Structure 1
């Protein structure tokens, strides 16, 4: 597609972006809060991942009734911490001097209610669907907490729906670039797995299919689980972590390390091919540092997981159906790109104005995404 390639090629020719807003909090405190968010986002998942890897690869630790019981208490503890942290932040920013009584009641009530549902969602339900719904609610509440942390430090994370045709085209271009990063990481892991199988190397490798390993049997259940994945990986891991560390002028290697390492570990059930997720993680971090808009990242990641997961779940169908699905998806992508491009051209370039206030959307060029943050 024409526009995403132009967006990538033009990065080196564009003027240097303005520095991201610095937080008033000491750098060390922000770093500790980032580590706490990462532990809340990935801690229980990594424990479950370790138990799954133990079952798959014959390691000393594996799933058992006692291990599941301990994991439940870990998840409940995470939900409890999120409850009190989120409630405290929302209460602190909603005094009557800043909001109306109705706004205070709605915002505080929403925080307490959603965090309470997340705590209830950690219960060991018999139904796998109920467990996935509980995990998805908990992940969304955690994403809200991460955004509140950014808001408390006055670090903008620009979650806003596009309102004009040029803005929609800009977000579409960003989403396409994120989709390329997702495909690159997934394809690398797949090729590494095939290479290991054909070479006969004695290294850790997932023996069955990805969906069967994860215990997912239908697309509806899988799509609910993808909501949790997007909330954790795109909002907490990529957007919030990058924004906070960039605001405190942390070096790039720290940002990439704190995001890429958990991302690889969350896919450890793949075995050695999980290292392909480095491209998946590093590509998204690099793109976020250029453009700084979470919604296209979330949309592209959700679509990628949904399409690839659907193809995996459709393995019982004839192989001929897969190219047909790929062709239909490509046709839809090109059709949407054509419609958005034509609409942006008809609208014309948006007038340039003074820089917007902190946390709002600055003016955007009409023909390509805007680069917003420092390297």
Structure 2
């Protein structure tokens, strides 16, 4: 049975967003016999988040709004196979919705930053954050303004909106007591050897989940295309996404990492935990949202259900978001390389780079060894002359 993230009523949140018993004593009994677990992980292997300091319902409502502004721009309405929609009407609706979402993100982000920067904060920091949020919001809105029915700078607009979405997600989490460290974004690479091994383990598990979805959906798409079955795109994933250049691919990869990792996994689990929602709801929300943003793949998008479920489970057990992002990044990078380059176009530069690195390392090692051998022999002579 999945366990709830919400703490029992006999517990209270602390300043570092962990849970202590109501009497204020450390939570030693929960970790008895489990010294290897981090302090923010229960012995039942689920990461703990404190309830929202504002109100659980506010956390729930703001998560729903965050999912709306995220999934709308991720859903290619005009590329979903099997739907008898007029492409022109769908395109106009999508553009209008993108502009509305960008305007909403602009005002929402500005409001949260203003609330978080009171007058007692230093003037430079306060106005720096406020002006930065305003600039990011304006860039997101400007990138979503259509000209003659099309977006003049779609790449720049997508990057600006993704950047605003990252900032907005972090602000929403901070509002409910979830810092970037608690969200699993810091440190990017831990210093302790045990934590490094744990991060590598989490990254490997996340990579398996990505491979299941990527390879599985690709194989199913090919089989359905060869059998002339409905509810499957007639083109490749690259063409379905409208990726024609490396710039398009880089923009799409940045957007995907923001949406599928930061929002659909990290923010969903953290904010639903702060809202005291059950674990099954975290899995359900993420699974549905992930399938929705992959609806352009048609029926094979259902293979992203185990992918989403596994990623939520991994995040709930370890509370690390960076390894999930890294695994997703390397898989997407390999896919992009396969789209635009042949094997030898990749292998030759890699081999040359490896060869040059080995030569440079050998030269450095030999030079360092000569210096180290000279230093001890010169030291006695200098002392004798003195």
Task: Give TM-score scaled by structure 2 length.
Answer: 0.72
CA contact (8 A) 1:146 1:240 kept: yes
1:22, 1:303 → 2: CA distance?
34
| Bigger-Rg structure (1/2) | 2
Deviation at 1:287, TM superposition (A): 0.9
Which of 72, 78, 102 aligns to 1:43? It is: 72
Structure 1 pair 25/182, CA: closer, same or farther in 2 (3 Å)?
same
Structure 1 pair 184/162, CA: closer, same or farther in 2 (3 Å)?
same
* 1:119-157 superposed Cα distances (whole Å, 9 cap, x missing partner): 111133699893022112202211211111111111242
* 1:236-263 superposed Cα distances (whole Å, 9 cap, x missing partner): 1110111111233312221111111121
| 1:115 equivalent in alignment to 2:137 | yes
CA contact (8 A) 2:202 2:324 kept: yes
* 1:76-113 superposed Cα distances (whole Å, 9 cap, x missing partner): 1111111111111111111132x211110111111111
Q: Which residue of 1 aligns with 2:184?
A: 158
Q: Which residue of 1 aligns with 2:7?
A: none
2:160, 2:298 → 1: CA distance?
29
| 1:249 equivalent in alignment to 2:276 | yes
* 1:318-351 superposed Cα distances (whole Å, 9 cap, x missing partner): xx659969x99xx9xxxxxxxxxxxxxxxxxxxx
1:246-285 → structure 2 map (5 Å cutoff): 246-285=273-312
**Matched position secondary structure for 1:249:** coil
| 1:186 equivalent in alignment to 2:210 | no
CA contact (8 A) 1:121 1:131 kept: yes
Q: Which residue of 2 aligns with 1:80?
A: 103
Q: Which residue of 2 aligns with 1:308?
A: 335
Q: Which residue of 2 aligns with 1:196?
A: 224
Q: Which residue of 2 aligns with 1:211?
A: 238
Which of 130, 137, 148 aligns to 2:160? It is: 137
Q: Which residue of 2 aligns with 1:173?
A: 201
CA contact (8 A) 1:133 1:225 kept: no
2:345, 2:280 → 1: CA distance?
39
RMSD: 2.8
* 1:296-323 superposed Cα distances (whole Å, 9 cap, x missing partner): 2222212211211321334xx4xx6599
**Matched position secondary structure for 1:154:** coil
2:92, 2:117 → 1: CA distance?
38
CA contact (8 A) 1:82 1:145 kept: yes
Aligned length: 305
Q: Which residue of 2 aligns with 1:358?
A: none
Structure 1 pair 226/232, CA: closer, same or farther in 2 (3 Å)?
same
Q: Which residue of 2 aligns with 1:368?
A: none
1:193, 1:266 → 2: CA distance?
17
Q: Which residue of 2 aligns with 1:230?
A: 257
CA contact (8 A) 2:56 2:274 kept: no
Deviation at 1:16, TM superposition (A): 3.3
1:168, 1:218 → 2: CA distance?
36
Deviation at 1:222, TM superposition (A): 0.2
CA contact (8 A) 1:211 1:313 kept: no
Q: Which residue of 1 aligns with 2:22?
A: none
Deviation at 1:230, TM superposition (A): 0.8
2:158, 2:230 → 1: CA distance?
32
| 1:33 equivalent in alignment to 2:33 | no
Gaps of 5+ in 1: 1-9, 332-375
1:46-65 → structure 2 map (5 Å cutoff): 46=75, 49-53=76-80, 56-57=81-82, 59-64=83-88
2:309, 2:238 → 1: CA distance?
24
Structure 1 pair 172/190, CA: closer, same or farther in 2 (3 Å)?
same
Q: Which residue of 2 aligns with 1:94?
A: 117
Structure 1 pair 69/29, CA: closer, same or farther in 2 (3 Å)?
same
1:19, 1:306 → 2: CA distance?
32
Higher relative contact order (CA 8 A, sep 6+): 1
Q: Which residue of 1 aligns with 2:316?
A: 289
CA contact (8 A) 1:129 1:221 kept: no
